C-alpha cells in the first residue's frame, strides 16, 4: 500500500522538541536496537519510528506505537555513535502523538507554545482564586481553634465541581483514546484481530498501567520507583478527590492511626519525593534522560510540588487550629490543582499514563494475531 510523504513533517516535529541535528544524524546503524533492554527479538524498535519520521511518512508514524514502548532508559542515547539521541526523539514523538490523538488541537497548542501554556495555567490559577474571593465566606471565629473548612468550602459544592470536571475531561480523554484506537488498529488492514484476543490481552495492559512493569528492565531502579510512586500517589489523590471527598475533606480531626491521615501522608510523600527527584535530575542534567527538558516537564513538576506542599500545609494548619491560614492555603491548593487537571490529565503529561498501556495492548494484539496466523 502506498504511503503519502509529508515534506513538512520534520518541521512540525521540531516544534515538539525533535532536534534537526538528531534526526538528521541517525543513519540506522542498529546500535539503539541492540542495546535497548526493551527490544524484543525481530523488532526494529526504536528505529522504525525514526525511519518513518525521516521519510516524512506522517500517517505511518501516527499509526505506530514505538514511541510509547520506550521508557527512556537512556542507553540508546549514551551509546549512539552519531550522538543522534534516539531516546529524546522518542520523548518528542510522544508529545506529537498526544497531539495527533487530540481532536481538539489543544494538546498541540500547549506543547508548541510555552507562553500559551503558561498563560492558560495562570488564567486558571487566578480564576480559581477569584471564585473563592467572590463566593467563599470565611466563618465567624467564635473559637479561633475551631477550623470550619466545610463552611468555607462546602464539600457538596466542591464535589459537584469535581464531578463536572471529571465528566468533561473523561469525554475528551476517552474520545482521544478512541482516535488512537482507530489510527493504530482499525486503519491497519494488514491484521484482522479476533475478538477473543481483546479480552485475553487486556489484563497485561491493566498490569502495565498500575506497575509500569516493563520499566523495570531498565537500569536504575530508583528512576522506575520514583516514576511509579509519583504516578500512584497522584492517582490515589485524584480518586480521593473525585470519589471520596466527603470522607477525605472533613472537619473532624482523626487520630494519626486513622486511614484518612496515613493515606494522605503516603500520597504527600509520593508527590514530594517524585517531583523533587525529577526536578533535581532535570536541573543537574547529569543523567542523559534529564539532559533535555521541555517546558511542559517543568510546569507539570512545579504544579505537582505545589499541590503536595499546599496539601500538607492545609493539614498542619487545620490540626493546629490555624483557621485563616487553612482557608487561604485551601484556595491556593485548588488554584494549583485545577490547572494541573485541566491541562495535563487529558491533553498532556498525565494522558501518557493511558496511551502507553494502550500502545502495549495494541502491540500485543497485533503480535498475538500474527502468531495465530503463522500457526494455522
Average pLDDT over residues 194-209: 89
CB 360 within 8 A of CB 181: no
Q: Is residue 28 part of a domain?
A: yes
Q: Is residue 56 part of a domain?
A: yes
* The pLDDT of residue 45: 73
Q: Is residue 289 part of a domain?
A: yes
* The pLDDT of residue 42: 57
* The pLDDT of residue 337: 95
Of 101, 118, 135, which marks where a domain is finished?
Answer: 101
Q: Is residue 251 part of a domain?
A: yes
Flag whether pLDDT at 139 surpasses 80: no
Of 101, 119, 134, which marks where a domain is finished?
Answer: 101
Flag whether pLDDT at 215 surpasses 90: no
120 and 86 both lie in a single domain: no
Q: Is residue 2 part of a domain?
A: no
How far, CA to CA in Å, does 64 sit from each of 17, 45, 67, 114? 18, 11, 8, 27
**What phi and psi values does residue 247 have, to the nearest 5 degrees?**
-80, -35
Residues constituting the chain: 376
Q: What mean pLDDT value characterizes the chain? A: 89
Residue entry with cell 488554584: 335
245 and 143 both lie in a single domain: yes
187 and 329 both lie in a single domain: yes
- Helices 195-211 and 352-375, axial angle in degrees (round to 10): 140
223 and 334 both lie in a single domain: yes
Average pLDDT over residues 255-276: 94
208 and 343 both lie in a single domain: yes
What total of structural domains would you count in the chain? 2
How far, CA to CA in Å, does 343 sit from each of 83, 244, 332, 352, 365? 33, 23, 17, 13, 31
Q: In the chain, pLDDT over 90 holds for what percent of residues?
A: 53
96 and 157 both lie in a single domain: no
20 and 133 both lie in a single domain: no
Residue entry with cell 495535563: 344
Of 62, 77, 101, which marks where a domain is finished?
Answer: 101
Instruction: List pLDDT tens digits, range 318-343.
Output: 999 898 899 999 999 999 999 999 99
348 and 219 both lie in a single domain: yes
* The pLDDT of residue 24: 83
Helix H segments across the chain? Answer: 9-14, 20-25, 31-35, 47-54, 58-63, 66-69, 75-79, 86-101, 106-112, 114-135, 149-152, 155-181, 195-211, 221-243, 245-248, 259-284, 295-319, 323-340, 352-375
**What phi and psi values does residue 74 have, to the nearest 5 degrees?**
100, -10
Question: What's the CA gap between 48 and 52, in Å, rounded?
Answer: 6
273 and 350 both lie in a single domain: yes
Q: Is residue 48 part of a domain?
A: yes
CB 344 within 8 A of CB 302: no
> 2: pLDDT confidence band, cut at 50, 70 and 90?
low
Average pLDDT over residues 259-263: 93
> 214: pLDDT confidence band, cut at 50, 70 and 90?
confident
Average pLDDT over residues 52-77: 89
63 and 208 both lie in a single domain: no
* The pLDDT of residue 142: 52
122 and 80 both lie in a single domain: no
Q: Is residue 370 part of a domain?
A: no
Question: What's the CA gap between 100 and 173, in Å, rounded?
Answer: 13
> 193: pLDDT confidence band, cut at 50, 70 and 90?
very high
* The pLDDT of residue 43: 64
Residues 6+ apart with CB under 8 A from 32: 46, 47, 76, 79, 80, 86
Q: In the chain, pLDDT over 70 holds for what percent of residues?
A: 96
21 and 162 both lie in a single domain: no
Q: Is residue 275 part of a domain?
A: yes
Q: Which domain holds residue 272?
A: 106-364
Average pLDDT over residues 36-51: 76
| Nine-digit cell string for 45 | 524498535
Amino acid at each position: 500500500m502506498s504511503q503519502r510523504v509529508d515534506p513538512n513533517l520534520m518541521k512540525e516535529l521540531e516544534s515538539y522538541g525533535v532536534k534537526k541535528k538528531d534526526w538528521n544524524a541517525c543513519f540506522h546503524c542498529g546500535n539503539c536496537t541492540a542495546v535497548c533492554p526493551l527490544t524484543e527479538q525481530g523488532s526494529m524498535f526504536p528505529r522504525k519510528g525514526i525511519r518513518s519520521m525521516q521519510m516524512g511518512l506522517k500517517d505511518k508514524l501516527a499509526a505506530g506505537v514505538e514511541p510509547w514502548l520506550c521508557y527512556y532508559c537512556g542507553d540508546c542515547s549514551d551509546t549512539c555513535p552519531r550522538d543522534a539521541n534516539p531516546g529524546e526523539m522518542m520523548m518528542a514523538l510522544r508529545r506529537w502523538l498526544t497531539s495527533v490523538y487530540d481532536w481538539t488541537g489543544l494538546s498541540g497548542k500547549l506543547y508548541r507554545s510555552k507562553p500559551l501554556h503558561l498563560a492558560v495555567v495562570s488564567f486558571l490559577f487566578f480564576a480559581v482564586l477569584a471564585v473563592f474571593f467572590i463566593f467563599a465566606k470565611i466563618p465567624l471565629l467564635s473559637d479561633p481553634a475551631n477550623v470550619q473548612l466545610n463552611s468555607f468550602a462546602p464539600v457538596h459544592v466542591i464535589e459537584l465541581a469535581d464531578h463536572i470536571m471529571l465528566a468533561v475531561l473523561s469525554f475528551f480523554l476517552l474520545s482521544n483514546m478512541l482516535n488512537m484506537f482507530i489510527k493504530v488498529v482499525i486503519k491497519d488492514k494488514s491484521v484482522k484481530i479476533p475478538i477473543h484476543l481483546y479480552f485475553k490481552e487486556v489484563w497485561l495492559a491493566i498490569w502495565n498501567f498500575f506497575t509500569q512493569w516493563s520499566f523495570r528492565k531498565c537500569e536504575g531502579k530508583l528512576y522506575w520507583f520514583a516514576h511509579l510512586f509519583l504516578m500512584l500517589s497522584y492517582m490515589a489523590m485524584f480518586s480521593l478527590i473525585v470519589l471520596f471527598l466527603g470522607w477525605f475533606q472533613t472537619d473532624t480531626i482523626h487520630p494519626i492511626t486513622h486511614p484518612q491521615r496515613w493515606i494522605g501522608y503516603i500520597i504527600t510523600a509520593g508527590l514530594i519525593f517524585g517531583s523533587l527527584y525529577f526536578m533535581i535530575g532535570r536541573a543537574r542534567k547529569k543523567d542523559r534522560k534529564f539532559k533535555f527538558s521541555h517546558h511542559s516537564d517543568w510546569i507539570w513538576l512545579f504544579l505537582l510540588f505545589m499541590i503536595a506542599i499546599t496539601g500538607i500545609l492545609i493539614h498542619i494548619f487545620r490540626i493546629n487550629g490555624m483557621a485563616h491560614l487553612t482557608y487561604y492555603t485551601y484556595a491556593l491548593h485548588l488554584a494549583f490543582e485545577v490547572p494541573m487537571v485541566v491541562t495535563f490529565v487529558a491533553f498532556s503529561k498525565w494522558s501518557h499514563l493511558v496511551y502507553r498501556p494502550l500502545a502495549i495492548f495494541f502491540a500485543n494484539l497485533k503480535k498475538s494475531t500474527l502468531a495465530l496466523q503463522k500457526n494455522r
